[in-house]
Amino acid sequence: MQTITSASNVTVVARSPGLRFDEVEIAVTLPTYKRPEQVLATLQSVIGQRTSRPFAVVVMENDAEWHAGADAVAPLFENGTAQGVLLIAHDRGNCCAYNAGWATALAEFPKLGFVLVIDDDEIAGPNWLETMCATAESLGADILGGPQVPVFHEPGHEHWAEHPVFAPPYRETGLVPALYSSGNLLVARRVLDAMPRPFLDLSFNFTGGGDSDFLSRAAARGFILGWCADAPVMETVPARRLEPDWIRSRSLREGVLSTWVEKRKRGGSLAARCRVAAKSLALLAASPVRGVIRFARTGSLSVGLYPFYVALGRVLAEFGYANEQYRQAEKN
Q: Where are the domains of the chain?
A: 5-241, 244-331
pLDDT of residue 137 exceeding 90, the answer is yes
Domain 5-241: which CATH number of 3.40.50.300, 3.90.550.10, 2.170.190.11, 3.40.710.10: 3.90.550.10
pLDDT tens figures, 71-116: 999 999 999 999 999 999 999 999 999 999 999 999 999 999 999 9
Average pLDDT value for residue range 288-297 = 89
What is the distance in angstroms between the CA of the first residue and the CA of the last residue of the chain? 28
CA dist., res. 235 & res. 148, Å (int): 6
Query: What is the pLDDT, as a whole number, of residue 1?
Result: 53
CA dist., res. 16 & res. 71, Å (int): 15
pLDDT tens figures, 60-71: 999 999 999 999
Query: What is the pLDDT, as a whole number, of residue 80?
Result: 94
Average pLDDT value for residue range 196-201 = 94
Average pLDDT value for residue range 161-173 = 92
Across the chain, mean pLDDT equals 91
| Exposure b/e, 243-257, CB count within 10 A at least 16 = b | eeebbbbbbbbbbbb
pTM of the entire predicted model: 0.91
CA dist., res. 175 & res. 228, Å (int): 9
CA dist., res. 309 & res. 303, Å (int): 10
Strand pairing class (143-145; 184-188): antiparallel
Sheet holding 233-237, edge to edge: 122-124, 233-237, 148-152
**Which residues, other chains included, contact 125 with Cβ-Cβ below 8 Å and sequence gap of 6+?**
45, 231, 232, 233, 234
pLDDT of residue 330 exceeding 60, the answer is no
Query: What is the pLDDT, as a whole number, of residue 58?
Result: 98
